[in-house]
Chain A
């Protein structure tokens, strides 16, 4: 059976993480199974965790009254859900629902922030990884602003 450390080692977000840091992180982690259709986070709620997705899909979006959730992004295996746990005021910006049964490793944010404060090298490493994700999402959002599929040659 795979340990949490094994699962994290094979997850893209943690690729190349120092073994000692991995050991520290597993102290804040546990495996979870999220039922299909379940709400995982809600906009405005306290950001007290983050998830390394192992399998299944998660819809990230905003809920509009009477219209249900409008999905703005879909997360898959090897993605992570949640970065607001790292920056004050620690509030979620979006809703997230499980589109399938989701298997993930979840981390307690208070525990993680404590470890990061105690070990600045770990904190810097994690912050860099989260920043890389934010960069990817910003680039993806900018591409969507370009309306990539929208302007064929007139004729």
Chain B
């Protein structure tokens, strides 16, 4: 099930990515509309991070192209925010939480220019949005894994973009905070912004996302979540990955998703 949209915000056409001649993404081809929260899901090693990196021009693309806002990335960079997987950086780096969030403002600064007072205000505000204002001056290695993740989300918010590409932003974040941040993201989409989130929890997916992309090295499905969250498509995506699948099929057998476990 691959639903294409008119006037897409994101258009990915026949995208192929290889690492050392090993293909990781095969002819990925989908479009996403504006003003939605979209989830990208698939098992470990499915190429989700690679897909996001390819969209951000961080890995060389074998064939095909990506268009954001109907243009090449370099024309619209200022409107796009990227949240890497938390593990991709060294958290022993000498910086405070506020320093990291301030990095979200660097795109708006010229060479030589230092962050201004207004940038600090924005950064503080974004820390507040993820409930981390009390930790602004804390050295980042002294934050818990979930708190570090929240700092990354705050940095992304500080970019004040129109399109957010987030690689597992909720990994290690507690339920209360996760729910609060999803609320925040939903608010942002109602202002016309678009959010793409790599996510692992099938249970919460239906509550969080309007649109779902299922993939496993190739594209399995892309469409409104109600139409994509089917037993067959999930089986096709996770096939063989027994643990998750059995849980999911059990879940789907009940045919309704509990909001949240207490």
Do A and B come from the same complex? Answer: no
Residues of B within 8 A of A (CB): none
